[in-house]
Structure 1
Amino acid sequence: MKRTVLACAVGAAVLIGPAAATAGAAGQYGSLPAQGAPKAAYPVGEVVSDAALHVRQKPTVYSGVVKVLRPHQRILLNCQKRGGWVDGNPVWYRIQGSDGWVSARFVHNLQPVRSC
């Protein structure tokens, strides 16, 4: 009897193990796409600044402002590249749907972002 219960418990752990790991990752960022489902076209980022964030024409703080984003606003990130340093961070994200750049210092990428 004990062997049967142990065998069932081990078998269940083997079957449930990968699903539990996927469920844990899904709980952190919402639902994950099903196997074979298309991925989102662009990674999502969230503004982590306490104040409005300027979207710049070029990846530098000396470039003109083209748009302003609200704190905690979610945006689509087209790609990333090195630009002017902001608080020790040289990475900038190109915003999808806008011809502009934001410093990665103030945007948390929720998914990996490809290089430009």
Structure 2
Amino acid sequence: MNRFVLVCTMATGLALGPVAATGWAAQQHAAVSAPRAAHPVGEVVSDAPLNVRQRPTVYSGTVKVLRPGQRVLLNCQQRGGWVDGNPLWYRLQGSHGWVSARFVHNHQPVRAC
């Protein structure tokens, strides 16, 4: 069976030519074989330093501060205190703190906590 698969793969490669290396087939292979990030990446989009809170509310204590443009790993999201019309908060990976989704752009979907 392995020889059959090899022959079919080679025949397909010859038939598709360069499309297999750069076109739809390569994108499909890359999507299947590329490892997914363990945690989505977020980017701070505030103009000022962003407080990382102990709990998902602005009334909670500050754990640390993130600078504008800084990238962080997002563990999960949940509803919390509203910030400029946005009730979502992201729990950060590693620091065990929360940031308002109003000031962090998620580059991938974030799972619920």
**TM surpasses 0.5:** yes
Aligned to 1:74, which of 63, 71, 74? 71
Aligned to 2:105, which of 84, 104, 108? 108
Whole-angstrom distance in 2 between the partners of 1:65 and 1:34: 39
Q: Does 1:94 align with 2:96?
A: no
Whole-angstrom distance in 2 between the partners of 1:76 and 1:99: 11
What residue number does 2:6 align with? Answer: none
Q: Which runs of 5+ in 1 are unaligned?
A: 1-10, 23-32
Whole-angstrom distance in 2 between the partners of 1:35 and 1:99: 31
Whole-angstrom distance in 2 between the partners of 1:57 and 1:38: 31
RMSD: 2.2
Whole-angstrom distance in 2 between the partners of 1:100 and 1:94: 6
Q: Which runs of 5+ in 2 are unaligned?
A: 1-15
Amino acid at match of 2:64: K
Q: Which stretches of structure 1, 4 residues or more, deviate above 6 A after TM superposition?
A: 14-17
TM-score norm. by structure 2 comes to 0.74
Amino acid at match of 1:94: R
TM-score norm. by structure 1 comes to 0.72
Whole-angstrom distance in 2 between the partners of 1:18 and 1:34: 11
What residue number does 2:5 align with? Answer: none
Amino acid at match of 1:114: R
Aligned to 1:58, which of 51, 55, 68? 55
- Aligned residue-pair number: 94
- Provide Cα deviations, 1:62-115, integer angstroms capped at 9, x if missing partner: 000000000000000000000000000000000000110000000000000000
What residue number does 2:82 align with? Answer: 85
